[in-house]
């Protein structure tokens, strides 16, 4: 390879190209001095006609971490986060924790000071290797490149290792985050020539004919345990529960087993003829004459106490199909854990009906009853043709009553769900609204994401932006829909800095951020403290009221803004063609239901 004046640049180029060979397509850069060789090399590679790489820039590493998380969620390949030394990498920790517990591949590429600057009071210097603790699968420490001929081979080897660990590094073969900490000495960068890129591409192409293709096998990874296979027979009394990242296979498993399906709204399995929407009520009071004898859990459920209580029972057979998450849903401690479940002799629909029917029928009755209680009666369309002015006036009044009825959380959940389709993407913040959706929305096979690895409210906007950007860069016209993020006002304010868009996002993506504003953390009103603490104390330190001019905040970041005070306003907002829109939905803190 043609050498430059900076070993940092000479190492950064082959390392990044090695990651690209292993499937990396997105790099998220936060500005800094020590990381300049990595940032500049990433940019030059993104401009090269024979390299498939997109570079995104975020001034805030915390936003960058969740933006990278969103990119990785959609692509299934690790996004790379690049930052400078000191406190900068520490801001990645929340996103890395979510990636760890959700099984999302992610690579934190942290630039560092060389050994001679460690422990001597040098500026922007701390102990970076291991600073993320158990939040990452592995830490790869790279000594400062010296400009030796062996640096290129070493960089390529480290790239292969980093990609493999992110994609398959967790025992059991599960993806997750990895830290690559590389020290650099001055000069921290030098001009990067096209010939240098071509030289490394030549090395890669001569080494393997499958250049620029993702790694699909976990070759050489001795930490991966054998896949645990389990075969089940259909039997009455079985229920399938689909939690975080369960996927459509959970719905098919319920069909094959002839079992009712309890699928959390973000599970990827919230659809199909076996779906039980009103599962909370039915787990509290099962249909008459039925008893649960076996629970098959796919993924990790997190949204209801009823499911957690069921999974904690030791008198029920418990099977877990563990997905990407590294911790199986096994509160009882008695579960059989499997990496894959198959069904022998799948039941016919007629055989399944006797067990599934009571659950599905009872659920539909409960959902319909709730709908009647919450929604005003629809106006009688026939009145429009009446010759009686009073009857036509009565129709007009009834129509306006529907349009102008005040918003509730349940109505927002149903309206957003109704207006979201398979070419769209729905991102649900981990607060009250995901529970409203989970309790009410009917079955529909649409893409839904929620960060339920640790169920934090942080990074929701940044994650949605990352998903939207990855979809825009996928090149598939079928994914060119709207990405909608639905979150509470505290989650919105927690991540308000992520409204700052990178170059190209305004043209490439379409994103709606739907803020359900009730003045604070109304989810906490469901806690026992709301009934035992003094109102002033509870409001101050638990509910945490927040009054912010959301319109001004949206405008400062260049977003369009609409306020939705009633049902008609929300319907109009969801149809708004603006590329980036904040929809401010006003709801009361406490509602009747």
**pLDDT score at 218:** 38
**pLDDT score at 55:** 97
**pLDDT score at 242:** 98
Q: Does 390 share its domain with 423?
A: no
Is the pLDDT higher at 304 or at 529? Answer: 304
**pLDDT tens column, 501-518:** 998 787 889 999 999 998
Mean pLDDT along residues 49-70: 97
Q: Does 309 share its domain with 336?
A: yes
Residues 6+ apart with CB under 8 A from 461: 485, 487, 492, 495, 496, 498, 499, 513
For the record, the structure tokens of 287 come out as: 């249909």
Cα dihedral sign, 488-490-495-496? positive
Q: How many domains does one find in the chain?
A: 4
Q: Does 66 share its domain with 121?
A: yes
Give the SS3 label for residue 490: helix
DSSP per position, 34-95 = TTHHHHHHHHHHHH-TT---EEEE-SSHHHHHHHHHHHHHHHSS-EEEEE-STTGGGGGHHH
**pLDDT tens column, 94-143:** 999 999 999 999 999 999 999 988 889 888 989 899 999 999 989 999 99
Mean pLDDT along residues 136-158: 93
Helices of type H across 230-348? 248-257, 279-284, 305-312
Q: Does 409 share its domain with 544?
A: yes
For the record, the structure tokens of 184 come out as: 């650099």
**pLDDT tens column, 338-374:** 999 999 888 887 878 889 999 999 999 999 888 766 6
Q: Is the pLDDT of residue 402 over 80?
A: no
Last residue of a domain, one of 175, 207, 239: 207
Using left for φ > 0, alpha for ψ between -120 and 50, and beta otherwise, residue 76 falls in left
Q: Does 390 share its domain with 411?
A: no
**pLDDT score at 318:** 96
pLDDT confidence tier of residue 1, bands split at 50, 70 and 90: low
pLDDT confidence tier of residue 397, bands split at 50, 70 and 90: low
Within a domain: 222:
no
β-pairing verdict for 580-586 and 511-517: parallel
Q: Does 233 share its domain with 328?
A: yes
Residue written as token pair 């096998």: 217
Last residue of a domain, one of 207, 238, 273: 207
Q: Does 16 share its domain with 151?
A: yes
Q: Does 333 share its domain with 457?
A: no
Quote the pTM value: 0.91
**pLDDT tens column, 430-452:** 989 999 999 999 999 999 999 99
Q: Which residues pair with 483 in a beta bridge?
A: 425, 511
Q: Does 414 share its domain with 399?
A: no
Furthest-apart CA pair in the chain: how many Å? 93
Within a domain: 445:
yes
Mean pLDDT along residues 270-279: 97
The helix or strand, by DSSP H or E, that contains position 487, with its residue range, turns out to be strand 483-488
Using left for φ > 0, alpha for ψ between -120 and 50, and beta otherwise, residue 105 falls in beta
Mean pLDDT along residues 553-569: 96
**pLDDT tens column, 178-199:** 999 999 999 999 998 888 888 8
Q: Does 200 share its domain with 239?
A: no
**pLDDT score at 520:** 77
- Mean pLDDT across the chain, nearest whole number? 89
The enclosing domain of 107 has a CATH number of 3.40.50.970
Within a domain: 385:
yes
CA 488 to chain centre: 16
Is the pLDDT higher at 32 or at 218? Answer: 32
Residue written as token pair 């060389």: 114
Counted residue by residue, the chain has a size of 593
Q: Does 26 share its domain with 173?
A: yes
Q: Does 257 share its domain with 294?
A: yes
**pLDDT score at 208:** 53
Within a domain: 266:
yes
Within a domain: 452:
yes
Range of the domain at 343: 229-363
């Amino acid at each position: 390879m043609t050498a430059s004046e900076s070993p940092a640049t000479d190492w950064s180029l082959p390392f990044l190209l090695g990651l690209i060979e292993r499937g990396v397509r997105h790099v998220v850069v936060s500005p800094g001095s020590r990381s300049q060789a990595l940032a500049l090399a990433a940019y030059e590679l993104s401009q090269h006609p024979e390299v498939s790489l997109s570079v995104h820039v975020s001034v805030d590493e915390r936003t960058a971490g969740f933006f990278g998380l969103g990119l990785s969620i959609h692509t299934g390949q690790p996004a790379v986060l690049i930052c400078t030394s000191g406190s900068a990498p520490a801001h990645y920790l929340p996103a890395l924790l979510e990636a760890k517990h959700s099984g999302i591949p992610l690579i934190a590429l942290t630039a560092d000071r060389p050994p001679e600057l460690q422990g001597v009071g040098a500026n922007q210097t701390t102990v970076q290797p291991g600073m993320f603790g158990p939040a990452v699968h592995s830490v790869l420490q790279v000594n400062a490149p010296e400009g030796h001929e062996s640096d290129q081979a070493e960089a390529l080897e480290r790239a292969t290792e980093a990609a493999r660990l992110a994609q398959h590094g967790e025992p059991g073969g599960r993806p997750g985050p990895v830290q690559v900490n590389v020290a650099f000495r001055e000069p921290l960068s030098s001009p990067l020539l096209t010939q240098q890129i071509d030289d490394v591409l030549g090395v890669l192409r001569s080494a393997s004919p499958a250049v620029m293709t993702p790694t699909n096998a976990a070759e050489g990874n001795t930490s991966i345990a054998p896949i645990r296979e389990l075969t089940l027979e259909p039997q009455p009394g079985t229920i399938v529960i689909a939690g975080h990242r369960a996927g459509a296979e959970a719905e098919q498993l319920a069909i094959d087993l002839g079992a009712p399906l309890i699928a959390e709204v973000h599970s990827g399995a919230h659809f199909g003829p076996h779906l039980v929407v009103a599962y909370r009520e039915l787990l509290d009071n099962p249909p008459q004459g039925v008893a649960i004898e076996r629970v098959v859990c796919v993924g990790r459920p997190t949204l209801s106490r009823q499911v957690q209580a069921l999974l904690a029972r030791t008198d029920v057979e418990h099977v877990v199909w563990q997905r990407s998450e590294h911790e199986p849903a096994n509160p009882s401690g008695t579960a059989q854990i499997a990496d894959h479940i198959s069904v022998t002799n799948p039941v016919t629909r007629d055989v399944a009906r006797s067990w599934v029917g009571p659950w599905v029928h009872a659920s539909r009755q409960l959902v319909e009853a709730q709908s009647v209680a919450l929604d005003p009666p629809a106006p009688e369309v026939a009145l429009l043709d009446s010759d009686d002015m009073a009857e036509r006036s009565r129709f007009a009044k009834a129509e306006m009553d529907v349009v102008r009825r005040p918003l509730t959380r349940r109505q927002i959940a149903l309206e957003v769900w109704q207006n979201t389709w398979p070419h769209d993407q729905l991102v649900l913040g981990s607060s009250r609204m995901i529970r409203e959706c989970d309790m009410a929305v009917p079955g529909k096979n649409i893409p839904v994401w929620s960060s339920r690895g640790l169920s934090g409210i942080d990074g929701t906007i940044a994650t949605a932006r990352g998903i939207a950007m990855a979809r825009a860069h996928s090149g598939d016209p079928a994914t060119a829909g709207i990405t909608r993020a639905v979150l509470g006002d505290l989650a919105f304010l927690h991540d308000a800095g992520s409204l700052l868009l990178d170059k190209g996002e305004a043209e490439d993506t379409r994103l709606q951020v739907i803020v359900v504003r009730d003045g604070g953390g109304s989810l906490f009103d469901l806690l026992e403290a709301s009934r035992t603490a003094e109102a002033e104390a509870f409001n101050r330190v638990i509910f945490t009221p927040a009054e912010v001019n959301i319109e001004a905040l949206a405008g400062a970041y260049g977003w369009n803004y609409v306020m939705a005070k009633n049902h008609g306003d929300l319907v109009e907002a969801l149809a708004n063609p603006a590329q980036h829109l904040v929809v401010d939905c006003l709801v009361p803190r406490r509602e009747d239901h």
